[in-house]
Chains A and B, each alone.
Chain A
Amino acid sequence: MINIKNLHKNFGDNEILKGIDLQIKKGETTIIIGPSGSGKTTLLRCINLLEFPNTGSIRVGANELVFGGNKEPTDKEILTLRRNTGMVFQGFHLFPHMTVVANIMEGLTTVHKQPKKVAYDKALKLLDKVGLLEKCDSYPHELSGGQQQRVAIARAMAIEPLVLLFDEPTSALDPELAQEVFNVMKELSKEGMTMVVVTHNMNFARKVADNIIFIDNGIIAYKGTPDELLTNTTNTRINQFLNLVSE
Protein backbone atom coordinates (compact mmCIF):
# COMPACT_ATOMS: atom_id res chain seq x y z
CA MET A 1 0.00 0.00 0.00
CA ILE A 2 2.69 2.46 1.07
CA ASN A 3 6.30 2.04 0.18
CA ILE A 4 8.85 4.63 1.25
CA LYS A 5 12.44 4.29 0.12
CA ASN A 6 15.51 6.09 1.39
CA LEU A 7 13.64 9.29 2.27
CA HIS A 8 15.71 12.33 3.21
CA LYS A 9 14.44 15.71 4.36
CA ASN A 10 16.47 18.75 5.44
CA PHE A 11 15.34 22.08 6.74
CA GLY A 12 18.32 24.20 5.75
CA ASP A 13 21.40 22.52 7.21
CA ASN A 14 19.32 20.55 9.63
CA GLU A 15 18.77 17.01 8.41
CA ILE A 16 15.48 15.80 9.89
CA LEU A 17 14.98 12.52 8.03
CA LYS A 18 18.14 10.57 7.32
CA GLY A 19 17.03 7.80 5.04
CA ILE A 20 13.69 6.31 6.00
CA ASP A 21 12.61 2.96 4.53
CA LEU A 22 9.11 1.88 5.39
CA GLN A 23 6.48 -0.49 4.01
CA ILE A 24 2.92 -0.43 5.20
CA LYS A 25 0.42 -3.07 4.14
CA LYS A 26 -3.23 -2.51 3.34
CA GLY A 27 -5.45 -2.58 6.42
CA GLU A 28 -2.61 -2.15 8.88
CA THR A 29 -2.47 0.41 11.65
CA THR A 30 1.03 1.70 12.12
CA ILE A 31 1.92 3.82 15.12
CA ILE A 32 4.92 6.11 14.99
CA ILE A 33 6.51 7.06 18.29
CA GLY A 34 9.69 8.85 19.18
CA PRO A 35 11.09 11.82 21.07
CA SER A 36 10.13 15.31 19.92
CA GLY A 37 12.32 16.57 17.12
CA SER A 38 13.02 13.01 16.01
CA GLY A 39 11.26 13.53 12.66
CA LYS A 40 8.05 11.55 13.16
CA THR A 41 5.71 14.42 12.25
CA THR A 42 7.95 15.37 9.31
CA LEU A 43 7.75 11.80 8.03
CA LEU A 44 3.95 11.88 8.23
CA ARG A 45 3.80 15.27 6.50
CA CYS A 46 6.06 13.97 3.75
CA ILE A 47 3.66 11.10 3.03
CA ASN A 48 1.00 13.55 1.83
CA LEU A 49 3.51 16.12 0.64
CA LEU A 50 2.78 18.93 3.07
CA GLU A 51 6.57 18.78 3.20
CA PHE A 52 8.60 17.89 0.13
CA PRO A 53 11.30 15.29 0.68
CA ASN A 54 14.73 16.22 -0.67
CA THR A 55 15.49 12.76 -1.98
CA GLY A 56 13.93 9.33 -1.92
CA SER A 57 10.65 7.93 -3.16
CA ILE A 58 7.12 7.52 -1.90
CA ARG A 59 4.58 5.14 -3.33
CA VAL A 60 0.95 5.28 -2.20
CA GLY A 61 -1.28 2.75 -3.98
CA ALA A 62 -0.21 2.66 -7.62
CA ASN A 63 1.44 6.10 -7.64
CA GLU A 64 5.13 6.39 -7.09
CA LEU A 65 6.83 9.77 -6.77
CA VAL A 66 10.61 10.10 -6.88
CA PHE A 67 12.30 13.13 -5.33
CA GLY A 68 15.71 14.59 -5.99
CA GLY A 69 16.00 12.85 -9.36
CA ASN A 70 16.24 14.42 -12.81
CA LYS A 71 12.56 15.19 -12.90
CA GLU A 72 10.62 16.48 -9.90
CA PRO A 73 6.99 15.33 -9.55
CA THR A 74 4.47 17.41 -11.48
CA ASP A 75 1.63 19.32 -9.79
CA LYS A 76 -0.76 16.71 -11.12
CA GLU A 77 1.18 13.83 -9.58
CA ILE A 78 1.32 15.71 -6.28
CA LEU A 79 -2.46 16.28 -6.28
CA THR A 80 -3.11 12.62 -7.11
CA LEU A 81 -0.98 11.51 -4.18
CA ARG A 82 -2.72 13.95 -1.84
CA ARG A 83 -6.12 12.73 -2.98
CA ASN A 84 -5.07 9.22 -2.01
CA THR A 85 -4.10 10.25 1.52
CA GLY A 86 -6.25 11.79 4.24
CA MET A 87 -4.72 13.87 7.00
CA VAL A 88 -5.94 14.54 10.53
CA PHE A 89 -4.08 17.38 12.24
CA GLN A 90 -3.17 18.02 15.85
CA GLY A 91 -4.98 21.39 15.65
CA PHE A 92 -8.07 20.02 13.76
CA HIS A 93 -8.01 22.84 11.16
CA LEU A 94 -11.70 22.63 10.33
CA PHE A 95 -12.90 25.36 7.98
CA PRO A 96 -14.49 27.84 10.44
CA HIS A 97 -16.71 29.55 7.87
CA MET A 98 -18.52 26.34 6.94
CA THR A 99 -20.96 24.18 8.85
CA VAL A 100 -19.88 20.74 9.97
CA VAL A 101 -21.59 19.01 7.06
CA ALA A 102 -20.16 21.53 4.57
CA ASN A 103 -16.67 20.84 5.92
CA ILE A 104 -17.09 17.17 5.06
CA MET A 105 -18.74 17.86 1.67
CA GLU A 106 -16.03 20.27 0.55
CA GLY A 107 -13.57 17.66 -0.73
CA LEU A 108 -16.35 15.82 -2.52
CA THR A 109 -17.90 18.80 -4.29
CA THR A 110 -14.82 20.95 -4.99
CA VAL A 111 -12.19 18.28 -5.57
CA HIS A 112 -14.17 15.30 -6.82
CA LYS A 113 -16.90 17.36 -8.51
CA GLN A 114 -19.67 15.23 -7.07
CA PRO A 115 -23.23 16.59 -7.08
CA LYS A 116 -24.25 18.37 -3.87
CA LYS A 117 -26.95 15.83 -3.09
CA VAL A 118 -24.59 12.86 -3.33
CA ALA A 119 -21.96 14.65 -1.25
CA TYR A 120 -24.53 15.62 1.37
CA ASP A 121 -25.80 12.07 1.81
CA LYS A 122 -22.28 10.76 2.07
CA ALA A 123 -21.29 13.45 4.57
CA LEU A 124 -24.24 12.55 6.78
CA LYS A 125 -23.24 8.88 6.70
CA LEU A 126 -19.73 9.79 7.80
CA LEU A 127 -21.04 12.07 10.53
CA ASP A 128 -23.17 9.23 11.79
CA LYS A 129 -20.09 7.01 11.83
CA VAL A 130 -18.20 9.45 14.08
CA GLY A 131 -21.34 9.86 16.21
CA LEU A 132 -22.08 13.50 15.42
CA LEU A 133 -25.09 13.37 13.13
CA GLU A 134 -26.99 15.84 15.29
CA LYS A 135 -24.21 18.43 14.87
CA CYS A 136 -24.40 18.57 11.08
CA ASP A 137 -25.60 22.18 10.90
CA SER A 138 -23.37 23.52 13.68
CA TYR A 139 -20.31 25.62 13.04
CA PRO A 140 -16.93 24.24 14.20
CA HIS A 141 -16.55 26.77 17.03
CA GLU A 142 -19.74 25.45 18.59
CA LEU A 143 -18.18 22.01 19.09
CA SER A 144 -15.80 20.68 21.75
CA GLY A 145 -12.24 19.85 20.71
CA GLY A 146 -13.00 16.14 20.65
CA GLN A 147 -16.04 16.71 18.46
CA GLN A 148 -14.05 18.94 16.12
CA GLN A 149 -11.43 16.24 15.74
CA ARG A 150 -14.08 13.64 14.96
CA VAL A 151 -15.47 15.93 12.26
CA ALA A 152 -11.92 16.33 10.94
CA ILE A 153 -11.64 12.53 10.71
CA ALA A 154 -14.92 12.41 8.77
CA ARG A 155 -13.65 15.16 6.46
CA ALA A 156 -10.44 13.25 5.80
CA MET A 157 -12.37 10.05 5.11
CA ALA A 158 -14.83 11.70 2.73
CA ILE A 159 -12.40 11.70 -0.18
CA GLU A 160 -11.96 7.94 0.31
CA PRO A 161 -8.21 7.99 0.76
CA LEU A 162 -6.19 4.78 0.58
CA VAL A 163 -4.58 5.71 3.89
CA LEU A 164 -5.46 8.01 6.80
CA LEU A 165 -2.60 9.89 8.46
CA PHE A 166 -2.97 11.19 12.02
CA ASP A 167 -0.56 13.78 13.38
CA GLU A 168 -0.81 13.65 17.18
CA PRO A 169 -4.61 13.79 16.89
CA THR A 170 -5.27 13.96 20.62
CA SER A 171 -2.43 16.02 22.05
CA ALA A 172 -4.57 19.18 22.05
CA LEU A 173 -7.35 17.38 23.96
CA ASP A 174 -7.90 16.51 27.58
CA PRO A 175 -8.00 12.76 28.37
CA GLU A 176 -11.77 12.39 28.27
CA LEU A 177 -12.12 14.06 24.87
CA ALA A 178 -9.05 12.20 23.61
CA GLN A 179 -10.79 8.96 24.46
CA GLU A 180 -13.76 9.68 22.18
CA VAL A 181 -11.36 10.36 19.31
CA PHE A 182 -9.41 7.17 20.06
CA ASN A 183 -12.66 5.22 20.07
CA VAL A 184 -13.49 6.43 16.57
CA MET A 185 -9.97 5.56 15.42
CA LYS A 186 -10.16 2.12 16.99
CA GLU A 187 -13.39 1.49 15.11
CA LEU A 188 -11.80 2.54 11.82
CA SER A 189 -8.81 0.33 12.47
CA LYS A 190 -11.09 -2.66 13.08
CA GLU A 191 -12.92 -1.98 9.83
CA GLY A 192 -9.67 -2.37 7.96
CA MET A 193 -8.75 1.25 7.27
CA THR A 194 -5.04 1.67 6.62
CA MET A 195 -3.79 4.17 9.19
CA VAL A 196 -0.51 5.78 10.18
CA VAL A 197 -0.68 7.50 13.54
CA VAL A 198 1.85 9.68 15.32
CA THR A 199 0.99 9.61 19.00
CA HIS A 200 2.47 9.44 22.48
CA ASN A 201 -0.41 7.44 23.85
CA MET A 202 1.15 4.01 24.45
CA ASN A 203 -2.09 2.65 25.81
CA PHE A 204 -3.78 3.30 22.48
CA ALA A 205 -0.74 2.01 20.61
CA ARG A 206 -0.78 -1.24 22.52
CA LYS A 207 -4.44 -1.89 21.82
CA VAL A 208 -4.67 -0.86 18.18
CA ALA A 209 -1.31 -1.01 16.46
CA ASP A 210 -0.27 -3.78 14.11
CA ASN A 211 3.17 -2.23 14.01
CA ILE A 212 4.99 0.30 16.08
CA ILE A 213 7.84 2.30 14.65
CA PHE A 214 10.28 4.08 16.90
CA ILE A 215 11.97 7.00 15.19
CA ASP A 216 15.04 8.49 16.76
CA ASN A 217 17.19 11.21 15.29
CA GLY A 218 15.81 10.88 11.75
CA ILE A 219 16.06 7.12 11.34
CA ILE A 220 13.79 4.19 12.16
CA ALA A 221 15.49 2.82 15.24
CA TYR A 222 13.06 -0.03 15.77
CA LYS A 223 10.07 -1.62 14.12
CA GLY A 224 7.93 -4.36 15.57
CA THR A 225 4.58 -5.38 17.00
CA PRO A 226 3.46 -3.63 20.20
CA ASP A 227 4.21 -6.71 22.28
CA GLU A 228 7.72 -7.02 20.95
CA LEU A 229 8.41 -3.39 21.54
CA LEU A 230 6.92 -3.10 24.98
CA THR A 231 8.14 -6.35 26.46
CA ASN A 232 11.22 -7.60 24.71
CA THR A 233 13.26 -4.66 23.69
CA THR A 234 16.77 -4.26 24.92
CA ASN A 235 17.27 -0.92 23.16
CA THR A 236 18.07 1.57 25.90
CA ARG A 237 16.85 4.62 23.90
CA ILE A 238 13.42 3.02 23.50
CA ASN A 239 13.25 2.06 27.14
CA GLN A 240 14.22 5.57 28.19
CA PHE A 241 11.51 6.99 25.93
CA LEU A 242 8.86 4.55 27.09
CA ASN A 243 9.63 5.36 30.71
CA LEU A 244 9.23 9.04 29.95
CA VAL A 245 5.86 8.79 28.19
CA SER A 246 4.42 6.43 30.76
CA GLU A 247 5.24 8.75 33.63
Chain B
Amino acid sequence: MNLDADSLRIIGILKDSFFPLLIAGLKFTIPVAVVSFALGSLLAMVTALARISKYKSLNLISGFYVWIIRGTPLLVQLFIIFFGLPAAGITIGAIPAGIIGFTLNVGAYNSEVIRAAILSIPKGQWEAASSIGMTHTQSLLRIILPQAARVSVPPLSNSFISLIKDTSLAAAITLPEMFQVAQQITATTYEPLILYCEVAFIYLIFCTILNIIQQKIEKKLERYVAM
Protein backbone atom coordinates (compact mmCIF):
# COMPACT_ATOMS: atom_id res chain seq x y z
CA MET B 1 0.00 0.00 0.00
CA ASN B 2 1.33 3.39 -0.97
CA LEU B 3 0.69 6.27 1.33
CA ASP B 4 0.01 9.50 -0.47
CA ALA B 5 2.08 12.58 0.21
CA ASP B 6 -0.58 14.16 2.42
CA SER B 7 -0.76 11.23 4.80
CA LEU B 8 3.01 11.10 5.06
CA ARG B 9 3.09 14.77 5.89
CA ILE B 10 0.52 14.33 8.67
CA ILE B 11 2.38 11.38 10.14
CA GLY B 12 5.52 13.49 10.03
CA ILE B 13 3.85 16.35 11.91
CA LEU B 14 2.49 13.96 14.56
CA LYS B 15 5.90 12.35 14.97
CA ASP B 16 7.76 15.64 15.19
CA SER B 17 5.32 17.27 17.59
CA PHE B 18 4.66 14.37 19.98
CA PHE B 19 7.84 14.67 22.04
CA PRO B 20 7.89 18.47 22.31
CA LEU B 21 4.29 18.26 23.55
CA LEU B 22 4.99 15.43 25.97
CA ILE B 23 8.08 17.20 27.30
CA ALA B 24 6.10 20.42 27.84
CA GLY B 25 3.53 18.31 29.68
CA LEU B 26 6.10 16.67 31.91
CA LYS B 27 8.11 19.85 32.45
CA PHE B 28 5.29 22.34 33.03
CA THR B 29 1.75 20.90 33.03
CA ILE B 30 2.36 18.14 35.59
CA PRO B 31 4.72 20.08 37.93
CA VAL B 32 2.49 23.17 37.97
CA ALA B 33 -0.54 20.97 38.68
CA VAL B 34 1.22 18.95 41.39
CA VAL B 35 2.66 22.00 43.18
CA SER B 36 -0.63 23.90 42.97
CA PHE B 37 -2.57 20.90 44.19
CA ALA B 38 -0.24 20.32 47.15
CA LEU B 39 -0.27 23.98 48.22
CA GLY B 40 -3.96 24.29 47.42
CA SER B 41 -4.85 21.27 49.52
CA LEU B 42 -3.03 22.76 52.52
CA LEU B 43 -4.89 26.00 51.94
CA ALA B 44 -8.13 24.00 51.57
CA MET B 45 -7.54 22.25 54.90
CA VAL B 46 -6.92 25.53 56.72
CA THR B 47 -9.96 27.09 55.02
CA ALA B 48 -12.21 24.13 55.87
CA LEU B 49 -11.16 24.24 59.53
CA ALA B 50 -11.73 28.01 59.57
CA ARG B 51 -15.19 27.55 58.10
CA ILE B 52 -16.30 25.05 60.74
CA SER B 53 -14.48 26.78 63.61
CA LYS B 54 -16.46 28.35 66.44
CA TYR B 55 -14.85 31.75 65.81
CA LYS B 56 -17.11 34.03 63.79
CA SER B 57 -14.25 36.08 62.31
CA LEU B 58 -12.59 32.96 60.88
CA ASN B 59 -15.93 31.83 59.41
CA LEU B 60 -16.32 35.21 57.73
CA ILE B 61 -12.81 35.48 56.29
CA SER B 62 -12.80 31.94 54.91
CA GLY B 63 -16.35 32.26 53.60
CA PHE B 64 -15.40 35.49 51.81
CA TYR B 65 -12.37 33.88 50.17
CA VAL B 66 -14.36 30.89 48.92
CA TRP B 67 -17.12 33.21 47.68
CA ILE B 68 -14.72 35.36 45.63
CA ILE B 69 -12.78 32.51 44.06
CA ARG B 70 -15.80 30.37 43.21
CA GLY B 71 -17.75 33.30 41.89
CA THR B 72 -15.19 34.52 39.32
CA PRO B 73 -13.72 32.73 36.28
CA LEU B 74 -10.31 31.11 36.66
CA LEU B 75 -9.11 32.67 33.39
CA VAL B 76 -10.02 36.14 34.64
CA GLN B 77 -8.22 35.47 37.93
CA LEU B 78 -5.08 34.43 36.04
CA PHE B 79 -5.26 37.61 33.93
CA ILE B 80 -5.61 39.78 37.05
CA ILE B 81 -2.57 38.14 38.65
CA PHE B 82 -0.34 38.15 35.56
CA PHE B 83 -1.44 41.18 33.52
CA GLY B 84 -3.26 43.22 36.17
CA LEU B 85 -0.99 43.22 39.20
CA PRO B 86 2.03 44.77 37.36
CA ALA B 87 -0.09 47.92 37.08
CA ALA B 88 -0.17 47.96 40.87
CA GLY B 89 3.60 47.53 40.95
CA ILE B 90 3.57 43.76 41.57
CA THR B 91 5.17 41.84 38.73
CA ILE B 92 5.00 38.05 38.87
CA GLY B 93 6.47 35.59 36.37
CA ALA B 94 4.16 33.35 34.36
CA ILE B 95 4.94 30.18 36.32
CA PRO B 96 4.50 31.64 39.83
CA ALA B 97 1.43 33.56 38.60
CA GLY B 98 -0.06 30.31 37.31
CA ILE B 99 0.76 28.46 40.52
CA ILE B 100 -0.78 31.25 42.64
CA GLY B 101 -3.97 31.27 40.57
CA PHE B 102 -4.38 27.49 40.57
CA THR B 103 -3.52 27.21 44.28
CA LEU B 104 -6.19 29.76 45.21
CA ASN B 105 -8.72 27.82 43.13
CA VAL B 106 -7.84 24.42 44.53
CA GLY B 107 -7.92 25.92 48.02
CA ALA B 108 -11.43 27.29 47.59
CA TYR B 109 -13.03 24.30 45.87
CA ASN B 110 -11.31 21.64 47.96
CA SER B 111 -12.11 23.41 51.21
CA GLU B 112 -15.74 22.57 50.48
CA VAL B 113 -14.82 18.95 49.83
CA ILE B 114 -12.88 18.69 53.07
CA ARG B 115 -15.53 20.55 55.06
CA ALA B 116 -18.23 18.19 53.79
CA ALA B 117 -16.03 15.18 54.55
CA ILE B 118 -15.41 16.35 58.12
CA LEU B 119 -19.13 17.00 58.64
CA SER B 120 -19.98 13.57 57.24
CA ILE B 121 -18.19 11.79 60.11
CA PRO B 122 -20.87 10.78 62.64
CA LYS B 123 -21.12 12.85 65.82
CA GLY B 124 -20.57 9.67 67.81
CA GLN B 125 -16.93 9.64 66.71
CA TRP B 126 -16.35 13.07 68.26
CA GLU B 127 -18.15 11.95 71.40
CA ALA B 128 -16.19 8.73 71.66
CA ALA B 129 -12.94 10.69 71.30
CA SER B 130 -14.06 13.19 73.98
CA SER B 131 -15.14 10.40 76.26
CA ILE B 132 -11.61 8.98 76.43
CA GLY B 133 -10.34 12.44 77.33
CA MET B 134 -9.08 13.74 74.00
CA THR B 135 -8.87 17.46 73.37
CA HIS B 136 -10.62 18.95 70.35
CA THR B 137 -7.36 19.04 68.38
CA GLN B 138 -6.47 15.46 69.28
CA SER B 139 -9.94 14.27 68.24
CA LEU B 140 -9.63 16.10 64.95
CA LEU B 141 -6.14 14.84 64.09
CA ARG B 142 -6.39 11.27 65.34
CA ILE B 143 -10.05 10.36 64.81
CA ILE B 144 -11.90 12.68 62.45
CA LEU B 145 -9.39 13.67 59.74
CA PRO B 146 -8.16 10.13 58.99
CA GLN B 147 -11.77 9.10 58.36
CA ALA B 148 -12.56 12.28 56.46
CA ALA B 149 -9.52 11.68 54.24
CA ARG B 150 -11.02 8.44 53.03
CA VAL B 151 -14.32 10.06 52.20
CA SER B 152 -12.51 12.85 50.31
CA VAL B 153 -10.40 10.71 47.99
CA PRO B 154 -12.90 10.47 45.11
CA PRO B 155 -13.85 14.18 45.04
CA LEU B 156 -10.22 15.27 45.57
CA SER B 157 -9.04 13.07 42.70
CA ASN B 158 -11.78 14.58 40.64
CA SER B 159 -10.48 18.01 41.48
CA PHE B 160 -6.90 17.05 40.60
CA ILE B 161 -7.98 15.74 37.20
CA SER B 162 -9.85 18.98 36.59
CA LEU B 163 -6.75 20.91 37.56
CA ILE B 164 -4.55 19.04 35.05
CA LYS B 165 -6.92 20.16 32.30
CA ASP B 166 -7.36 23.68 33.71
CA THR B 167 -3.60 24.31 33.51
CA SER B 168 -4.18 24.72 29.76
CA LEU B 169 -5.68 28.13 30.63
CA ALA B 170 -2.18 29.24 31.63
CA ALA B 171 -1.31 29.21 27.91
CA ALA B 172 -3.05 32.57 27.87
CA ILE B 173 -0.62 34.05 30.40
CA THR B 174 2.46 32.89 28.40
CA LEU B 175 3.20 29.84 30.52
CA PRO B 176 4.86 27.38 28.09
CA GLU B 177 2.82 24.38 29.15
CA MET B 178 1.55 21.67 26.84
CA PHE B 179 -1.34 23.52 25.21
CA GLN B 180 0.77 26.58 24.52
CA VAL B 181 3.37 24.43 22.77
CA ALA B 182 0.56 22.95 20.67
CA GLN B 183 -0.50 26.45 19.68
CA GLN B 184 3.06 27.35 18.71
CA ILE B 185 3.46 24.26 16.55
CA THR B 186 0.08 24.95 14.93
CA ALA B 187 1.28 28.43 14.05
CA THR B 188 4.07 26.95 11.92
CA THR B 189 2.37 23.84 10.53
CA TYR B 190 -1.17 25.23 9.95
CA GLU B 191 -2.68 21.94 11.14
CA PRO B 192 -4.94 22.93 14.05
CA LEU B 193 -7.16 19.85 13.86
CA ILE B 194 -4.25 17.43 14.06
CA LEU B 195 -2.27 19.30 16.72
CA TYR B 196 -5.21 20.03 19.02
CA CYS B 197 -6.47 16.46 18.77
CA GLU B 198 -2.97 15.25 19.53
CA VAL B 199 -2.65 17.45 22.63
CA ALA B 200 -6.14 16.39 23.75
CA PHE B 201 -4.97 12.79 23.47
CA ILE B 202 -1.96 13.46 25.71
CA TYR B 203 -4.23 15.11 28.33
CA LEU B 204 -6.38 12.00 28.11
CA ILE B 205 -3.38 9.78 28.82
CA PHE B 206 -2.41 11.86 31.85
CA CYS B 207 -5.92 11.76 33.25
CA THR B 208 -6.27 8.03 32.63
CA ILE B 209 -3.11 7.36 34.62
CA LEU B 210 -4.45 9.52 37.45
CA ASN B 211 -7.71 7.60 37.40
CA ILE B 212 -5.85 4.34 37.87
CA ILE B 213 -3.87 5.81 40.77
CA GLN B 214 -7.11 7.04 42.37
CA GLN B 215 -8.61 3.56 42.21
CA LYS B 216 -5.49 2.10 43.82
CA ILE B 217 -5.66 4.60 46.71
CA GLU B 218 -9.36 3.96 47.23
CA LYS B 219 -8.77 0.21 47.36
CA LYS B 220 -6.09 0.69 49.94
CA LEU B 221 -8.24 2.88 52.17
CA GLU B 222 -11.25 0.61 51.78
CA ARG B 223 -9.90 -2.18 53.91
CA TYR B 224 -11.18 -0.86 57.23
CA VAL B 225 -14.64 0.15 56.10
CA ALA B 226 -17.56 -2.21 55.86
CA MET B 227 -19.17 -1.81 52.48
A95/B127 contact (C-beta < 8 A), A82-B133, A111-B132 known: no
> Once bound together, how far apart are the Cα atoms of A43 and B22, in whole Å?
66
Which residues from chain A contact B138 at a C-beta distance below 8 Å?
110-111
A91/B131 contact (C-beta < 8 A), A96-B225, A139-B223, A141-B224 known: no
Nearest B residue to A50 via CB reads B127
Contact at B127–A97, with CB atoms within 8 Å? no
Contact at A87–B131, with CB atoms within 8 Å? yes
Within 8 A of B (CB), among A71-98: 75, 79, 82-83, 85-87, 89, 91, 93-98
* A147–chain B nearest beta-carbon distance, Å: 14
Which residues from chain A contact B131 at a C-beta distance below 8 Å?
48, 50, 82, 85-87, 89, 156
Within 8 A of B (CB), among A86-117: 86-87, 89, 91, 93-98, 106-107, 110-112
Q: Which of B93-101, B139-147, B201-209 contacts A (4 or more CB under 8 A)?
A: B139-147
> Once bound together, how far apart are the Cα atoms of A10 and B189, in whole Å?
77
Interface of chain B, main secondary structure: helix
Within 8 A of B (CB), among A105-135: 106-107, 110-112
Contact at A95–B143, with CB atoms within 8 Å? yes
Which residues from chain B contact A155 at a C-beta distance below 8 Å?
132
Contact at A96–B124, with CB atoms within 8 Å? no
Contact at B133–A111, with CB atoms within 8 Å? yes
Nearest B residue to A141 via CB reads B226
> Once bound together, how far apart are the Cα atoms of A152 and B129, in whole Å?
12
Which residues from chain A contact B134 at a C-beta distance below 8 Å?
107, 110-111
Number of A-B contacts (CB under 8 A): 72
* B11–chain A nearest beta-carbon distance, Å: 53
Nearest B residue to A45 via CB reads B127
Q: Assess whether B91 is interfacial by the CB under 8 Å rule.
A: no
A89/B132 contact (C-beta < 8 A), A97-B150, A110-B138 known: no
Contact size range, A? 20 to 34
* A189–chain B nearest beta-carbon distance, Å: 20
Interface of chain A, main secondary structure: mixed
> Once bound together, how far apart are the Cα atoms of A93 and B129, in whole Å?
9
Nearest B residue to A111 via CB reads B133
Q: Assess whether A159 is interfacial by the CB under 8 Å rule.
A: yes
Contact at A93–B127, with CB atoms within 8 Å? yes
* A210–chain B nearest beta-carbon distance, Å: 24
* A148–chain B nearest beta-carbon distance, Å: 11
> Once bound together, how far apart are the Cα atoms of A91 and B124, in whole Å?
8
Within 8 A of A (CB), among B88-138: 122, 124-125, 127-135, 138
* B127–chain A nearest beta-carbon distance, Å: 5
* B59–chain A nearest beta-carbon distance, Å: 21
Contact at A159–B128, with CB atoms within 8 Å? no
Contact at A159–B225, with CB atoms within 8 Å? no
> Once bound together, how far apart are the Cα atoms of A48 and B127, in whole Å?
10
> Once bound together, how far apart are the Cα atoms of A158 and B146, in whole Å?
22
- B125, B133, B135: the one within 8 Å of A93 (CB): B125
Nearest B residue to A112 via CB reads B133
* A41–chain B nearest beta-carbon distance, Å: 12
8 A-B residue pairs with CB within 8 Å: A48-B130, A48-B131, A50-B131, A85-B131, A96-B224, A110-B134, A110-B142, A111-B134
Residues in B lying within 8 Å of A, measured CB to CB: 122, 124-125, 127-135, 138, 142-143, 146-147, 150, 223-226
6 closest Cβ pairs, A-B complex:
A141-B226, A107-B132, A83-B133, A87-B131, A93-B128, A93-B124
